[in-house]
Amino acid sequence: MRQTVTSSAIQLLKSSTMPHTVRIATQAHELAQRIRKRIQAEQLADGTFFMTEAQLAEEYGVSRTVTREAVSRLQALGILEGRKRKGLLVRHPDPLRLLSNSLPSLVGSQNDWRELAQLRYALEVG
């Protein structure tokens, strides 16, 4: 018999067994994905001011630590650019920059060459 796991059960499991830093990393990853999807859904132009980190934390109901980590991830991908006292700028990243940011993690993985070949194929073929 197959058991269904509810999202509340998953949240309980995460909160009770995961170390604090792992929970922050998981929440930051989820927040970064939500921000990225929002930028795409609203079709925000390159150079558009988005929000401040404080506004993001309040709107999404997460801590500033989680927000900073999510923003840091998006900045590393070239999707957001921070401006002191002004907020975050939306950026449309250059594919070559994305590739250069992705290569270290691909080469360090277990399936290095297969993943690298898949990435190359995706970039060349589209």
CATH for the 7-90 domain, from 3.40.50.1370, 3.30.565.10, 1.10.540.10, 1.10.10.10:
1.10.10.10
Q: Which two tokens stand for residue 106?
A: 């691909």
pLDDT for res 61: 94
Pick the range with the lowest mean pLDDT from 34-43, 64-73, 89-98, 110-119: 110-119
User: Residue ranges of the domains in the chain?
Assistant: 7-90, 95-125
pLDDT for res 111: 61
What are the pLDDT digits (tens) for 42-90?
888 888 888 889 999 999 999 999 999 999 988 888 888 888 778 888 8
Strands 80-83 and 87-90: antiparallel
Give Cα 79 distance to the centre of its chain. 10
Distance CA 57, CA 25 (A): 15
pLDDT for res 99: 66
Mean pLDDT of 2-12: 52
The 3-class secondary structure across the chain, one letter per residue, is CCCCCCHHHHHHHHHHHCCHHHHHHHHHHHHHHHHHHHHHHCCCCCCCECCCHHHHHHHHCCCHHHHHHHHHHHHHCCCEEEECCCEEEECCCCHHHHHHHHHHHHHCCCCHHHHHHHHHHHHHHC
- Residue pair 124/118 in contact (Cβ under 8 Å)? The answer is no
pTM summary value: 0.58
- Select the more confidently predicted residue: 69 or 106: 69
For residue 48, give the nearest of 97, 87, 93 by alpha carbon. 87
